[in-house]
Amino acid sequence: MSIDNFVGTWELLSYEGRAPDGSVTHPLGEHPFGVGIYTADGQMSAHLMRAERTPFGGGRRPGVDVIAPDLIVAAAAGYIGYCGRYSVDADRRVVSHFVESALIPDWVGTVMPREYAFSGDQLILRPPPRGGLVTELRWRRRTA
């Protein structure tokens, strides 16, 4: 596998967590929406969200500076977004995301390794387990 396998735009199919007892969670709901982009020059961007987030209303596009803080908190609770550089370690089957910008300030400057696998037009990413929880994100390559 090389960086070429990653290059393109990906649509999130599922985001699940499995606990040691076998129970399954869906951090962004059962039908999340997301777009991930990997470029040939080593840049990446990932934006994932709960599909059923409540709009602010009013049919307008308000600026962040005029939205009530509690509404921003509610919107952020169903959203994950970050971007930066990435590298692929084909021997270990790990893609590492070097976070340069993120919704969560603490992520900036960190490295997010993910085990990867390809299955047909799908990319499967697994972050390191946390507290026994094994997380898996399934993406499908977007075509024109």
Is residue 63 included in any domain, yes or no? no
State the total domains in the chain: 1
For residue 26, the domain's CATH number is: 2.40.128.280
Integer Cα distance of 74 and 126 in angstroms? 26
98 contacts 92 by C-beta, under 8 angstroms = no
Is residue 84 included in any domain, yes or no? yes
The reported pLDDT for the residue numbered 58 is 64
Is residue 16 included in any domain, yes or no? yes
The reported pLDDT for the residue numbered 68 is 80
For residue 114, give the H/E element and its range. strand 111-119
The reported pLDDT for the residue numbered 90 is 94
Is residue 59 included in any domain, yes or no? no
The reported pLDDT for the residue numbered 70 is 84
Is residue 107 included in any domain, yes or no? yes
Domain hosting 86: range is: 3-54+68-141
Is residue 106 included in any domain, yes or no? yes
Report pTM.
Answer: 0.89
Going 11 to 28 to 109 to 71, the CA torsion angle's sign is: positive
Is residue 89 included in any domain, yes or no? yes
**How many Cα neighbours within 13 Å face the side chain of 21?**
2
What single-letter amino acid sits at 65?
D
Is residue 108 included in any domain, yes or no? yes
pLDDT tens digits for the chain (144 residues)? 578 899 999 999 999 999 999 999 999 999 999 999 999 999 999 999 998 887 777 666 777 777 888 888 888 889 999 999 999 999 999 999 999 999 999 999 999 999 999 999 999 999 999 888 999 999 999 986
Residue whose token pair is 């999130």: 12
